[in-house]
């Protein structure tokens, strides 16, 4: 068992002010895999104070030197990628091959894209030819509190810490207490990369403790949070007292609109995307809207694909999905599956209970419901598990209305070989991200949504600019 009770504050590992042990549960075995400490007000205050002391010098560091420091973090990753993958596999249930190929590589992917964007930032630029002596300057906002989730832990650390460092901000990271080990390895990357003391700090804790203190701390200029919509609302209210900037990346209920002329792999692609990471992705295509002439065949394909997806321990190699993160999550997903049955949706794959052959671990059967009616619980609410809802539609206009009839607006998907229709749908769908025909967004595009999905713009130049203040200067000497 791993014992990591210390926090990374002011360039060194330090014991918590008050010891409060917290077990980290391996969701494949339901047994503790580590023990950490949860921080409190004193630990958070110490981390913020360290970041505040470090801020003036780090903000004044030439951009090229900040860039070089981030490149050194990448070198640390390359030396220890296996440690990072194994940590995430154990603590949050990503199968080891998935952790190696999908979870851990989020760090170099985002880091290199941020470096590309960083190289094109103009820190002081003219407003325009009509006002030659007016300049727009960009400068770091200050000390930032970064609160990250357990489902794609290194992805969110990379999307927050790296742009903050490049912008010239100093950081206090609070990772999820469900998946803290990868964050502690990342802190080692920062230390071994030679970041100055206080530039990056890590305090483990829960939302009610460390998270709440960061959110209300008067010396924290900004909170960047990824997690539930409920928690995002609470953070916004708490942060209002100090008028700090708040960026939120929250839940989703993505619609995957499959027209009758979709390519042959569209349904399979959608089901596999839904089940990836055991359905624990805020951008999962959890509602599959299928045009009626193709609907019956699509249901058959979806059921066959879901039934073919294997479930297994995160410690085993192979192309399977692992457990969900904890017992509470497992019970919540089971409740949604039962709700789907009770409300009259047609179960065509999976269902309640543990998969065959399992008597422990938080494993969920890949589940597909057909004939879901708009308004059903499984159609409206984010389940955050491997559960797909399939709904028929007739016309393009109906599909657009159904897809947009959600309080969320993170990612929607379109499958059609009619280019003009695809583009119309992309412009009409109310979400921060649209992906069509299996093609993802290009390198450097942001991740972020609308409505109850929050309005963060993480990634590329937008992700760096979230940590910058703009200043208009008149009378610039020419």
Q: How many CA atoms lie within 13 A of 90 on its CB side?
A: 18
Whether 169 sits among the annotated catalytic residues: the reply is no
Residues forming beta bridges with residue 9, ordered by sequence position:
12
Give the CA dihedral 92, 314, 433, 206, nearest 10 degrees: 0
Whether 282 sits among the annotated catalytic residues: the reply is yes
CA distances 70 to 165, 402, 464, Å, are 8, 44, 13
- Measured between alpha carbons, how far is 209 from 469 in angstroms, rounded to an integer? 28
CB crowding 287-315: b at 16 or more within 10 Å, else e: bbbbbeebbeebbebbbebbeebebbbbe
Within 8 A by CB and 6+ apart from 434, the residues are 411, 412, 413, 414, 425, 426
Instruction: Give me the helices (H) in 266-326, please.
Output: 266-275, 292-308
Out of 249, 379, 382, 458, the active site residue is: 249
Out of 282, 379, 458, 466, the active site residue is: 282
Tokens 């007292």 map to which residue? 241
Q: Give the 3-state secondary structure percentages of the chain, helix then strand then coil, rounded to 5.
A: 40, 25, 35
Active-site residue set: 249, 282
């Amino acid at each position: 068992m791993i014992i990591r009770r210390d926090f990374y504050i002011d360039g060194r590992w330090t014991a918590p002010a008050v010891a409060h042990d917290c077990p980290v549960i391996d969701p494949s075995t339901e047994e503790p895999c580590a023990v950490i400490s949860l921080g409190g007000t004193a630990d958070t205050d110490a981390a913020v104070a360290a970041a505040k002391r470090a801020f003036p010098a780090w903000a004044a560091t030439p951009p090229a030197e900040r860039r070089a420091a981030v490149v050194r973090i990448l070198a640390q990753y390359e030396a220890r990628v296996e440690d990072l993958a194994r940590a995430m596999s154990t603590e949050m249930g990503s199968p080891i091959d998935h952790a190696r190929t999908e979870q851990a590589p989020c760090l170099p992917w985002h880091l290199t894209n941020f470096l590309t964007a960083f190289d094109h930032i103009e820190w002081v630029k003219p407003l325009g030819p009509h006002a030659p002596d007016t300049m727009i300057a960009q400068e770091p906002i200050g000390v930032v509190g970064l609160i990250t989730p357990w489902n794609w832990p290194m992805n969110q650390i990379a999307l927050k810490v790296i742009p903050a460092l490049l912008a010239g901000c100093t950081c206090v990271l609070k990772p999820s207490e469900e998946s803290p080990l990868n964050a502690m390895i990342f802190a080692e990357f920062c230390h071994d990369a030679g970041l100055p003391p206080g530039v990056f700090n890590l305090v483990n804790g829960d939302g009610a403790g460390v998270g709440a203190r960061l959110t209300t701390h008067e010396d924290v200029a900004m909170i960047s949070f990824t997690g539930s919509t409920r928690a995002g609302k609470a953070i916004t209210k708490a942060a209002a007292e100090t008028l700090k900037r708040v960026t939120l990346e929250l839940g989703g209920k993505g619609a995957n609109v499959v027209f009758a002329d979709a390519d042959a792999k569209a349904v399979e692609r959608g089901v596999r995307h839904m089940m990836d990471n055991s359905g624990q992705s805020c951008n999962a295509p959890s509602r599959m809207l299928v045009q009626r002439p193709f609907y019956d065949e699509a249901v058959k394909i979806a059921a066959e694909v879901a039934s073919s997806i294997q479930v297994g321990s995160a410690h085993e190699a192979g192309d399977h999905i692992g457990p969900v993160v904890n017992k509470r999550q497992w019970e919540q997903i089971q409740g949604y599956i039962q709700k789907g049955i009770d409300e009259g949706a047609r179960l065509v794959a999976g269902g309640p209970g543990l998969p065959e052959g399992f008597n422990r671990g938080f494993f969920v059967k890949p589940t597909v419901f057909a004939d879901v009616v708009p308004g059903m619980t499984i159609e409206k609410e984010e389940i955050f598990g491997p559960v797909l809802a399939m709904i028929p539609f007739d016309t393009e206009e109906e599909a657009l209305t159904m897809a947009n009839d959600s309080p969320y607006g993170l990612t929607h998907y379109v499958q059609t070989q009619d280019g003009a229709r695809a583009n119309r749908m992309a412009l009409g769908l109310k979400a921060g991200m649209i992906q069509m025909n299996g093609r993802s967004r290009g390198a450097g595009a942001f991740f972020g949504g609308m409505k109850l999905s929050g309005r963060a713009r993480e990634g590329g130049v937008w992700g760096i600019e979230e940590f910058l203040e703009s200043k208009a200067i008149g009378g610039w000497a020419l």
